[in-house]
Amino acid sequence: MDTGLPNAAGVSRYAQLAQELRQRIVGGEWAAGAAIPAETELAERFGVALGTVRQAVAMLAAEGIVQRVHGKGTFVTQGLNGPSLLRFFRFRGPTDEPPTARVHRCQTVRLRAAEALALGQQTGDAALRVKRVRLLAGRPVLAEDLLLPLARFEALRALPTREWEDLLYPMLARLCGVTVARANDELSFGHLDAATAALLDLPEGAPAIRVDRQAFDLGGHCIELRTTWGDATAFHYSAEMR
């Protein structure tokens, strides 16, 4: 048997086990994409009933931290990596080519109060502010403004802008050990300012869709604030209701 679970008043046994497993995943004992031990093994290791293990794993699955693959086992989530913000737009032209990214600027800035609050940092803490453009077939389609707390992403500070990869999240995982497990996108409408319009080859004041993102790591901490702008006339989104 493992260390056993400490008693915590008012917390159910499976929630305690879930917290224990969560800490091991965040701590890297089981890497992103790797299988966690079988339920019977976890039950023995932590000295709990199989039903308790199942409830704990179901809790982590609901949080998006692990994924169960029928007949194969339970895996730590690989994290997000796709060109996800493009799902809100329908750009004309060849779509089979994957999007690329061009970093225009990466500065160290001080977090303002609201930003610090969202990122679980202190006002005035250092962060990287990154201006980036996403391109499809060489044509700029999205303008992005990223804010990444320096405490988690120190390794990126010295990285030349040319060496940033097209996909941000796999790069964050590889260089900084941070896996992005989920993200929340808030869509709204606005008009492009002159600088953003120039990046997108659109006229100043053009109608645009704005996406405000908060991205979270496996531990549920917000590790990125991002604002993305794209041409409103290319906006497209499908929502099902039941």
Contact range with its own copies by CB under 8 A, out of 39-47, 97-105, 128-136, 227-235: 227-235
Kind of pairing, strands 126-136 and 100-110? antiparallel
Residues 188-217, mask of contacts with its own copies (x by CB under 8 A): xx-----------------x-x--------
Position among 104, 112, 174, 236 found at the interface with its own copies (CB under 8 A): 236
Give me the amino acid identity at 225.
L
Q: Which is nearer to its own copies, 106 or 209 (CB)?
A: 209
Q: Which residue has the tokens 């009933």?
A: 49
- Kindly tell me which of 111 and 197 has the beta carbon lying closer to its own copies: 197
- For 74, list phi and psi in degrees, rounded to 5: -115, 130
Interface residue with its own copies, options 185, 198, 219, 227 (CB under 8 A): 185
Q: Count of CB atoms within 10 A of residue 52's CB?
A: 22
Q: What are the C-alpha distances in Å from 154 to residues 112, 151, 217?
A: 19, 6, 16
Residue 37 CA from chain centroid, whole number: 25
How far from chain centre, in Å, is Cα 164?
17
73-92 residues in contact with its own copies (CB under 8 A) are 77, 80, 84
Is residue 68 involved in binding its own copies (CB under 8 A)?
A: no
- List interacting residues with its own copies (CB under 8 A): 64, 77, 80, 84, 181-189, 207, 209, 232-233, 235-242
